[in-house]
Amino acid sequence: MEEEFRGGRPQLFDFITNGRDWSDKGGYGAAEEKSLELRLGLPGGEDWSAVQEKREHPAESAVSPGHIAKIPKSTNMSASSGAKRGCSDAVDSKPEGTLADKPTAAAPVVGWPPIRSFRKNLAGTAKASAESPNRRSEAEKKLENDRKGLFVKINMDGIPIGRKVDLKAYDSYEKLSLAVDELFRGLLMAAQMDLLAATTHSTKETHVISGLLDRSGEYTLVYEDDEGDKMLVGDVPWDMFVSTAKRLRVLKSSDLCASPLSPGEIGRRTNDS
Amino acid sequence: MSEERSDMSEDEDGGGGVEQKERWGPSQGGGGCGSAKSRGGVWTDPPPPFSDQVLENVLENVLQFLVCRRDRNAASLVCRSWCRAEAQTRGELFIGNCYAVSPRRATDRFRRVRSVVLKGKPRFADFSLVPLGWGAHFSPWASAMAAAYPWLERICLKRMSIADDDLSLLAFSFPFFKDLTLICCDGFGTHGLAVIAEKCRHLRVLDLIEAYLEEEEEDQVVDWVSKFPQTTTSLETLGFDCVVSTVNFEALEALVARSPALRQLRVNHHVTVDQLFRLMVRAPQLTHLGTGSFGPPAALALQGDVMEHEADLVSAFAASKSIISLSGFRDVASQYLPAIYPVCANLTTLNCSFAEITADELKPVIHHCHNLQKFWVLDTVRDEGLQAVAATCKDLQELRVFPLNATEDSEGFVSDVGLAAISQGCRRLRSILYFCQQMTNKAVITMSKNCQELVVFRLCIMGRHLPDHLTKEPMDEGFGAIVMNCKKLTRLAVSGLLTDKAFAYIGKYGKSIRTLSVAFAGDSDVGLRYVLEGCPKLQKLEIRDSPFGDPALLSGIHQYYNMRFLWMNSCKLSIRGCNDVAQRLPRLVVEVIRDRPEADDETVEKLYMYRSLAGPRNDAPPFVKIL
């Protein structure tokens, strides 16, 4: 289940001042203390005064934990399929609203609703009419749930495990480049830290993988087209690239030949040259 | 669909509860059977004197009759002698968490095991919450078992990562190997299947349930079906509906033809109806059939041919007197559904959860299914379809209603109406999984009163924090009624708008609950405390996106050694709280899983903790930090 990447960091709205605890609301005070006492009375008893208060004061309750509706979309593309920030970080930006309000369309969350991925593509299957034959869907692919997604493998030098990107999720080379950076930054750091003797605990800086498209960075993005040729990413119009790219690679720029064999085509620096 | 195994939930077979483990206590070593046990679990006792040996032999003969592992665990705690005798006679080894014990320790204690069941990743891994490469590798277990159990006959794995090499090792190490069942496993491919097929001459069961095979380029796919021995085979079950690549149909047909013991066959969606017909002709003795594609083959769109296929199919089903379970129905064409009428009356299981059929298409089918016990369906049949089910299927025990559109803001085709109808008609219901967008407390309360046999209640209101859609109240009362009224409930999954009150109910009444799944629920730490303090039988607790923090986590210290695991993601945990737990419970492995390396060190995004005799595992990837 790949998350769509939109570029940029998630916006975090911190409406809870100074990181105070959820239940520490001005109007609650004694009720809060009561509610932390572990009593298992049924509704109607005084134990539920806190809850009752909430019901009677919907305006207040809308900013209480039980009614968190929206969490800003997390856009990280690390080794997992994305981790959403805990619900402590964001609150519905409109404080009014009763318990009755159905949250408006919220940003999709990883793993929710809890359906295994092979079931997820069912809606994409064209249900045939009585006469025409059904189209078979590729619904059983793991982690490839975008119905019209175009997933291609992407490997990076120095990282043993490859990833997949959905080219249809982006509309420009810049966005793809940012996505690649997000995808591999963590893995690259992990791989590099393995090499270090683990003595440096302080280095937490992450090196942005930049300059993928203009050969200015440490790495360069290349792709393999449908004829099997290796090409630099960025030469052809985006749409043409999406339709012809079969695989991507992130190579060390130093590994590329100084002069390409033909415009756009890439060779690798061999030991002799 | 292999019903007993498809879920491998321990709630429905009654054999759950405490699995094989030593006696636990905080900051004690695993006491187990006698203090003579050394760290590695190797027996250091001197052999018993002669008369005691006789007694042990007698004991072994008696203990052989104990099947249920809960009983066996109890027997093993009586005294050292019983512990030894039990260990010598345990035939099936069940390991609920592959990291709870080292393979060596398990194989050292139980020497005569013929069947192993092993579970790996936490369930939330199914929903992409556990990063790739987290673990649950089968390799170390394969090696240990290869050395210790030459007579091993059966292996059942759930959520394990298996390599083709592991499968090769199995095939070469166990000459009597009979049964391989893989549920939600990954990491292997057709090459591994080929080795199994070729080398396991006594294979009876090869069952792949929701497995994720490795992607293979076309030229890498191995024709594993052809590798089965050319002589008559002893195959009883062959399930490969989750295999994405095509199989050699001629080889499959020939295999079916020379497998007279075949009772269960589940093919993948590449098998067309005309091919299905041919298979059914070869195997009229089938009891469980998983169809592939159930629509007209694309190549034969001619009207005449289509009619012929329908007729063939009807005759094939009419001839299959033994079928009691049907599944598959990929790419279903509704005009083919009537073909199954002849077998409907005998069906105890019907899984059409990949078929987008409407209520009108379902009704004529379900009308015949008086004996149905297990029914999996898509919500496209709507409340009306469920009403038809309720009207006919009086013996229904398990119902699963899956959503066509598994997104939060999808329309949702079933609602409280369908649930209420089911509760009215299917009084013997034991297990329900229901995805919807609209629910009311009233319908849930009704179900709690009508369906007293409920063991598993899993309601998923897909939109987060949705209240009762009529009263706009939280869903506390509904779930409260379930735990209050359904005395046999062992598994519960909650959803919708829930306050701490719901958890108070669960803590107060859920005395038999073993598995609890929570998402986007609760107000404060109190909620989790209610559960941890109130549910003594709790084994598996998985929580996501709920406002429970360190105080709540610490309130469960007394409980964690009694549980198999706790999973929490996107809650309010901090590294301090988790460290606290880790320090106080040395036999608990506390894993903090970090998706983003640069993330804030204080907050804990994902916590997975489990009791273990093996200590921190040595195969943890870089994004896992063991406290």
Half-sphere exposure of A227 (CA within 13 A, CB side): 5
B165 vs chain A: nearest CA distance in angstroms?
Answer: 19
- Chain B residue numbers with beta carbons less than 8 Å from the beta carbon of A117 are 126, 128
Residue pLDDT, tens place only, A193-248: 655 544 444 444 556 777 777 777 888 888 888 888 888 888 888 888 888 888 88
Name the residue facing B333 among A23, A102, A134 (closest C-beta): A134
Q: What is the mean pLDDT of residues B530-552?
A: 96
Closest B-chain CA to A2: B128
Residue B574 pLDDT class (50, 70, 90 cuts): very high
Residue A189 in 3-state DSSP? helix
pLDDT tens digit sequence for B440-484: 999 999 999 999 999 999 999 999 999 999 999 999 999 999 999
User: pLDDT of A148-187, one tens digit each?
Assistant: 467 788 888 887 777 878 888 787 888 888 888 877 877 7
Which of residues B422 and A14 earns the better pLDDT score? B422
Domain spans, chain B:
56-87
Structure-model confidence comparison of residues B313 and B577, the more confident one: B577
- Per-residue pLDDT at A179: 83
The reply to whether residue B605 touches residue A83, judged by beta carbons under 8 angstroms, is yes
For the cut 60, the answer to whether the pLDDT of residue B32 exceeds it is no
Contact B130 A80 (CB under 8 A): yes
Q: Report the length, in residues, of chain B.
A: 627
Per-residue CA distances from B367 to A181, B347, B386, B389 (Å) = 56, 12, 12, 8
pLDDT at A7: 44
Tell me, what's the pLDDT at B233?
95
Mean pLDDT check: name the lowest of A21-30, B65-74, B451-460. Answer: A21-30
Confidence of residue A49 (pLDDT cuts 50, 70, 90): very low
Cα B549 to Cα B563: distance, rounded to the nearest angstrom: 19
Q: Which DSSP string corresponds to B114-183?
A: -EEEEE-S-GGGGGT-S-TT---BSHHHHHHHHHH-TT--EEEEES-B--HHHHHHHHHH-TT--EEEEE
Q: pLDDT of B119-143, one tens digit each?
A: 999 999 999 999 989 999 999 999 9
CB spacing of B501 vs A51 below 8 angstroms: yes
Q: Give residues with Cβ within 8 angstroms of A214, minimum separation 6.
A: A234
Q: What is the pLDDT of residue A168?
A: 80
Measured between CA atoms, the residue of chain B closest to residue A61 is: B523
| Cβ-defined contact of B435 to A189 (cutoff 8 Å) | no
> What pLDDT score was predicted for residue A142?
37
**Residue B406 to residue A38, Cβ atoms within 8 A:** no
Contact B129 A193 (CB under 8 A): no
Fold exhibited by the domain B56-87: Monooxygenase (1.20.1280)
Q: Where residue A63 falls among pLDDT bands split at 50, 70, 90?
A: very low
What is the chain A residue with the closest CA to B604? Answer: A86
Using a CB-CB cut-off of 8 Å, the residues of chain A touching B298 are 133-136
pLDDT score for A28 = 40
pLDDT at B33 over 90: no
* Per-residue confidence (pLDDT) for residue A6, from 0 to 100: 44
What's the pLDDT at B183?
96
**pLDDT at residue A132 greater than cutoff 70:** no
User: Which B residues in the span 394-423 are in contact with A, Cβ-Cβ below 8 Å?
Assistant: 402-409
Predicted local confidence at residue B29, as pLDDT: 34
pLDDT tens across B242-259, in order?
A: 998 999 999 999 999 999
Radius of gyration from C-alpha coordinates of chain B: 25
Nearest chain B residue to A207, by CA = B598
Query: Are the Cβ atoms of B132 and A127 closer than 8 angstroms?
Result: no
Whole-number Å distance between alpha carbons of A152 and A184: 15
Task: Over range A119-146, report the average pLDDT.
Answer: 40
How far is the alpha carbon of B405 from chain A, nearest alpha carbon, in Å?
6
Q: What percent of chain B has pLDDT over 70?
A: 89
A134·B508 Cβ contact <8 A: no
Distance CA B285, CA A73 (A): 53
pLDDT of amino acid A246: 85
Bigger pLDDT: A104 or B588? B588
- Helix count and strand count (H, E) for chain A: 5, 5
What proportion of chain B, given as a percentage, has pLDDT over 90? 73
Check whether B88 has a pLDDT greater than 90. Answer: no
Q: According to the model, what pLDDT value does residue B10 have?
A: 65
Least confident range from A38-52, A130-144, B605-619: namely A130-144
To the nearest 10 degrees (0 to 180), the angle between helices B359-366 and B382-392 is: 10
Domains in chain A: how many in total?
A: 1
- The answer to whether A130 contacts B333, with C-beta atoms less than 8 Å apart, is yes
Question: Which of A84, A87, A99 is the closest to B467 by Cβ?
Answer: A99
Domain harbouring A157, CATH code:
3.10.20.90
Quick one: average pLDDT of B144-167? 96
Confidence band (pLDDT; 50, 70, 90) for B235?
A: very high
* Beta-carbon separation of A134 and B296 below 8 A: yes
d(CA B615, CA B624): 15
Res B579: pLDDT:
94
Judged by CB atoms closer than 8 Å, whether chains meet at B504 and A88 is answered as no
pLDDT of the residue at A74: 39
Asked whether residue B562 carries a pLDDT value surpassing 60, the answer given is yes
Confidence band (pLDDT; 50, 70, 90) for B304? low
CB atoms B128 and A117 under 8 Å: yes
CB contact under 8 A, A186 and B598: yes
Cβ pair B507:A109 closer than 8 A? no
Q: Which of A24, A64, A99, A188 to mutate to test the interface with B (most CBs of B within 10 A)?
A: A99
Q: Which of A23, A106, A185 sits opposite B408 (nearest CB)?
A: A106
Contacts of A113 in chain B (CB under 8 A): 403, 406-408, 435, 460, 462
Strands (E), B503-564: 515-519, 540-544
| CA gap B384, B360 in Å, rounded | 9
C-alpha span between B606 and B18 (Å, rounded): 26
Nearest chain A alpha carbon to B462: A113
Q: Are B264 and B291 in contact (CB under 8 A)?
A: no
pLDDT given at position A109? 84
* Contact flag A35-B296 (C-beta cutoff 8 Å): no
Residue A122 lies in a domain: no
**pLDDT on residue A164:** 79
Chain A residues with beta carbon closer than 8 angstroms to that of B411: none
Residue B416, pLDDT > 90, answer yes
Q: How far apart are CA B40 and CA B144, in angstroms?
A: 14
Looking at residues B287-300, what average pLDDT do you find? 81
CB–CB of B462 and A116 under 8 A? no
Test the A interface: residue of B524, B533, B558, B625 with most A CBs within 10 Å: B524
Q: Is B597 on the interface with A (CB under 8 A)?
A: yes
Question: What is the mean predicted confidence (pLDDT) over B554-581?
Answer: 95
pLDDT category of residue B153 using cuts at 50, 70 and 90: very high
Contacts of B507 in chain A (CB under 8 A): 40
Give the chain B residue nearest A71 (alpha carbons). B545
Q: Is B132 on the interface with A (CB under 8 A)?
A: yes
> Does residue A236 lie in a domain region?
yes
pTM, two decimals, is 0.70
Q: Is the pLDDT of residue A76 over 90?
A: no
**Least CA distance to A138: which residue of chain B?**
B244
Task: With CB atoms and an 8 Å threshold, state whether A114 touches B499.
Answer: no
A73 inside domain: no
In the structure encoding, which two tokens stand for residue A84, read together? 């959403």
Q: Which among A43, A108, A135 has the least Cβ separation from residue B408? A: A108
**Residue span of the structural domain in which A215 resides:** 151-194+207-255
Query: Average per-residue pLDDT in chain A?
Result: 58
Judging contacts by C-beta atoms under 8 Å, the chain A residues touching residue B406 are 113, 115, 119-120
